[in-house]
Amino acid sequence: MGDRSALLRAYDDELRTDAEVREAEAVERFGPLFIARFGGGRGFVSYRDLGDATAEGIAGLVGEVARRFAADDRIVEAEWKTRGHDVAPGLHDALLEHGFTPEEPESIMIGEARRLLADVELPPGVVVRRVVEEHEVRAASAMQDEVFGSPVSRVRADELLRKLARGDGVEEWAAEVDGRFVSAGRIEPVPGTRFAGIWGGATRVEWRGRGIYRALTSARARAALAQGKTLITSDSTEFSRPILERSGFVKVSTTTPYVWRR
């Protein structure tokens, strides 16, 4: 399963459309699009592909999405997640024209979960463990916000707690030193697929390059395998991409979120 084209096909077939909006409060269809509303006032757009849509047709799709988001006062922020391998003429310009702003692109990494298993010698005092108590989940979420340069968000922490409370395999893992979290991330198995996603991986700058992220990733891969998931996907920054590549993961494409804010 190491062939890039096979991995990309598995990604498109198993991880888009229904898989991306399964937790949404509401989903509408418009042509090839799934237009979703999640808790916390978040909108999201998903699709398998845009078919043979022209630049004019894509502009129409984007315009309708922007209109629906603007008309729904419950939505305060929305994301159109683009993929680098999609055929989408004019999409970038149409999104800009309708108030969407591109964020940093990330690499879509996929590989076999077993490739991430490793016995890592951690720095003295560092412990990698699963986080389950509410106050610890909130502390881990706040640390991740800080590392990613975002304001600490109670809404994101509440959403993570809801995910963990569902009992469908989502787990939060963290690396701790003297009661302080220095790295954290979650594993999310995708029902009905071979995949689990590793998300939110963040390590404080002063603790990078010391094997902590790799140990955290290994722990999450073990959790995925224990749940019968054989493939791992991750939208990776340039900090985590090389670590996954050294474990045999393949960069199948890129993804760039375009964000609309009220």
The answer to whether the CB of 197 falls within 8 A of the CB of 185 is no
Quick one: 237 exposed, middle or buried, by C-beta within 10 A (0-12, 13-18, 19+)? middle
**Cα 255 from Cα 232, distance rounded (Å):** 16
**Cα 108 from Cα 253, distance rounded (Å):** 5
**Cα 140 from Cα 17, distance rounded (Å):** 29
The answer to whether the CB of 181 falls within 8 A of the CB of 138 is no
What distance lies between CA 141 and its chain's CA centroid? 14
pLDDT tens-digit series, residues 32-69: 999 999 988 999 999 999 999 999 999 999 999 999 99
pLDDT value of residue 1? 53
pLDDT at 243 over 90: no
**Cα 216 from Cα 132, distance rounded (Å):** 15
Percentage of the chain surpassing pLDDT 90?
A: 91
Percentage of the chain surpassing pLDDT 70?
A: 99
In this prediction, residue 240 has a pLDDT band, given cuts at 50, 70 and 90, of confident
Amino acid at 57: G
**Cα 187 from Cα 220, distance rounded (Å):** 6
Least confident of 140-144, 151-155, 248-252: 151-155
**Cα 236 from Cα 243, distance rounded (Å):** 10
Amino acid at 16: R
How confident is the model over 161-184, as a mean pLDDT?
95
pLDDT value of residue 33? 97
Domain boundaries, the chain: 14-106, 119-246
How confident is the model over 21-30, as a mean pLDDT?
94
pLDDT at 2 over 80: no
pLDDT value of residue 104? 94
Topology of 119-246 in CATH? Aminopeptidase (3.40.630)
Over 180-202, what HEC string results? Answer: EEEEEEEEEECCCCCEEEEEEEE
pLDDT value of residue 239? 84
How confident is the model over 217-242, as a mean pLDDT?
94
**Cα 170 from Cα 173, distance rounded (Å):** 10
pLDDT tens-digit series, residues 156-171: 899 899 999 998 999 9
Length, in residues, of the chain: 262
pLDDT at 196 over 60: yes
